[in-house]
Amino acid sequence: MRVCHLSLTDFRSYPSAEIALEPGVTAFVGPNGHGKTNLVEAIGYVATQSSHRVATDAPLVRHGAERAIVRALVARDERRALVELEINPGRANRARVNRSPVARPREALGLLRTVLFAPEDLALVKGDPSERRRFLDDLLVARAPRFAGVRADYDRVLKQRNTLLRTAAATKGRRRGPRRQDDEAAFSSAGAGDVLSTLDVWDSHLVRHGAELLAARLDLVEALRPLTAKAYATLAPASAAADLEYRTGVKLSTDCGRSRDILEEALRASLAEARQAELERGVTLVGPHRDDLHLALGELPARGYASHGESWSFALALRLAAYDLLRADGGDPVLILDDVFAELDGQRRTRLAEIVAPAEQVLITAAVPDDVPAELAGARFDVTEGSATRVR
Ligand SMILES: Nc1ncnc2c1ncn2[C@@H]1O[C@H](COP(=O)(O)OP(=O)(O)OP(=O)(O)O)[C@@H](O)[C@H]1O
Ligand SMILES: [Mg+2]
């Protein structure tokens, strides 16, 4: 798979940009702050409809502009797909595929698959569990775009359930202070006495979507485990072995298997157990939104223990494992390496370069040409003062 053409309107620092891309390696080289990452971020956005740098869309729209448009012509074997995304902060985004509007932007997911490596990946190892949950869920969506719907459904139900729990906590008088507006809405629609029966209804929705997400994450982690261990051993052969474990607050019995039905039952039972504490605290205390992907190096957790270099290697290994999985599903994803080589020592630089070189398309950003390893010689754009010019 590859991107043949990228076209931007009011995306980040670019009023407009038209960039023709070829298969193989392309490097974007230029001074700090001149717009290299902005370009590859746009390509990542087409694949995931989110940025690897910011949690909201607003910073993606050029300062002073109302909306941004990103267009990518994607080639997969002989097929071509033109994906167009209109980013409207504060309002619904819109998408078109092959010039036809789609009902929801997420219907345009899956047409482009990328694996993006960036300095921000260090947060996968050092950051909060939410970073690792996002890694897993993004990968689920990349492998099967329908998970974007599962995730959205789960988040929606969770939000509603939390609102209801907050209302219940407030009516019990355990929470002081003014109620929030959405609490009021839930409160009046439910009525104080009905809170518990309404909660049961939300529980069943939460259980259904939650178990689906949980089942998928458990399978995914099992698939990632050996691939991550192998990638880590390649990048850091002298270090202790890397391992992954999905840790959930849902009580899973070890001998009953992990089918959807069993996970639904387990989640239902864990919610029932947590019910009293949830009513007191006004928040949902068990479910995939509280889980974590535990990363270990030998006996020790990576978070809080791994060195800077080890953490980097672990983050790279996770991305490489994701790349392996996506490749095994069929179709080489586009590899994006944003400023990663400058962060690596010579040995890891060479190893990473050798691994990624055979990919159908590799896009690299670097501040100086020397940061692009010799193994990855290819096309080059100079990016200066917000414009990208093909020089090789
Ligand atoms: N929404 C926006 N509107 C206008 N300019 C923006 C917007 N978002 C970012 N910029 C500008 O884009 C520039 C950053 O671009 P980018 O992150 O692509 O740089 P870079 O070339 O990757 O630099 P580095 O080598 O430091 O990583 C900054 O100067 C920033 O002010
Ligand atoms: Mg950059």
Query: Of the ligands numbered here, which is closest to the C-alpha atom of 51?
Result: 1
Query: Of the ligands numbered here, which is closest to the C-alpha atom of 367?
Result: 1
Residue 81's H or E segment, with its range, is: strand 79-87
DSSP states of 10-60: EETTEEEEEEE--SEEEEEE--TTSSHHHHHHHHHHHHHSS-SS-SSSGGG
With a 6 Å cutoff on the Cβ, whether 367 touches ligand 1 is yes
With a 6 Å cutoff on the Cβ, whether 339 touches ligand 1 is yes
With a 6 Å cutoff on the Cβ, whether 14 touches ligand 1 is no
Instruction: Give the start-to-end residue ranges of the domains of the chain.
Output: 1-113+333-392
Indicate which residue's Cα is closest to atom 9 of ligand 1. Answer: 12
* Angle in degrees, 0-180, between the axes of helices 308-329 and 129-143, rounded to the nearest 10: 20
More confident call, 83 vs 345: 83
Q: pLDDT tens digits for 239-268?
A: 999 999 999 999 987 766 778 889 999 999
- The per-residue pLDDT of the chain, averaged, comes to 92
pTM for this structure? 0.91
Q: pLDDT tens digits for 275-286?
A: 999 998 999 999
Please report the atom of ligand 1 found closest to the CA of residue 53: 17
The pLDDT, as a whole number, for residue 257 is 72
Indicate which residue's Cα is closest to atom 24 of ligand 1. Answer: 32
Indicate which residue's Cα is closest to atom 19 of ligand 1. Answer: 33
Query: Of the ligands numbered here, which is closest to the C-alpha atom of 61?
Result: 1
Please report the atom of ligand 1 found closest to the CA of residue 365: 22
- Give the CATH H-level superfamily of domain 1-113+333-392: P-loop containing nucleotide triphosphate hydrolases (3.40.50.300)
With a 6 Å cutoff on the Cβ, whether 34 touches ligand 1 is yes
Indicate which residue's Cα is closest to atom 15 of ligand 1. Answer: 35
Q: How far apart are CA 341 and CA 335, in angstroms?
A: 14
Query: Band of the pLDDT at 174, cuts 50, 70, 90?
Result: very low
